[in-house]
Amino acid sequence: MIDRDDAASALASIDSARERSGELRRYAHAGDKLIGWGLVWLICNLCTQLIPVWGAKSWLIGVPIGIIWSMMGPGLGGGAGKGTGRYALMALAIFGFFAAIMAVAGVRDQLQANAIVSLTVATVYIVVGIWSGPRFAWIGLALAALVLFGWFGDPSHLYLWLALGGGGALIVSGLWLRRA
């Protein structure tokens, strides 16, 4: 017969395993989304650096592709197809947020706008990491460091930093999360 303390210990172990399993599942689902957005960052920032006349146009193509990619497959909670409408609403809210920030801050330069968006994305990953697992926070910290290093250390090549560093970091991080 199992006593009360052993039963409580067994239930605590089961609960701990369930929480860890959920965390690993969220990492795996987020990994695919990170790889998709990493490719968008890589291609669009390279295009902006190397072919400036196509820079803004590349984002008009890349962002919708990234949103569609994010809506495909399991959600971050793990359920297939769950929250698809929420992704669209979230994308609309994020677009509105950035439009408002750019208007209030008086941002007129595409380089500054890209840095603000990139730092905001990094901050979101840090906040998600606080709630959902430390790997997200590390990804956010790495992205923020790359953006700030590029902005202050080599602003003439910031798009290159964002492409190779930011996009590359998202792709590598996505692979890292998928292996979790």
Give the dihedral sign, CA 65/129/104/114: negative
Q: What is the pTM of this model?
A: 0.73
DSSP string, 106-163: T---HHHHHHHHHHHHHHHHHHHHHHH-HHHHHHHHHHHHHHHHHHHH-GGGHHHIII
What is the residue whose two structure tokens read 């560093």?
A: 165
Distance of CA 24 to the CA centre of its chain: 16
Q: What pLDDT is stored for residue 30 in this prediction?
A: 79
Percent of the chain scoring above 70 in pLDDT = 82
Q: What pLDDT is stored for residue 129 in this prediction?
A: 86
Q: What pLDDT is stored for residue 98 in this prediction?
A: 84
Q: For 43-72, write each residue's pLDDT tens digit.
A: 999 999 999 898 888 999 998 898 888 877
Q: Which helix (H) or strand (E) holds 83?
A: none
Indicate the SS3 state at residue 76: coil
Say if residues 152 and 133 touch (Cβ distance below 8 Å): no
Q: What amino acid occupies position 17? A: A
Query: In which band, very low, low, confident or very high, does the pLDDT at 78 lie, cut at 50, 70 and 90?
Result: very low
Output the six-digit token pair for 27.
């990492």
pLDDT at 159 over 90: yes
pLDDT at 120 over 50: yes
Q: How far apart are CA 15 and CA 93, in angstroms?
A: 35
Q: Which helix (H) or strand (E) holds 85?
A: helix 84-105
Output the six-digit token pair for 98.
């950035």
Output the six-digit token pair for 123.
């901050």
Q: What pLDDT is stored for residue 77 in this prediction?
A: 46
- Which of 40, 25, 22 shows the shortest CA–CA distance to 91? 40
Output the six-digit token pair for 46.
């390279």
Q: What pLDDT is stored for residue 46 in this prediction?
A: 95
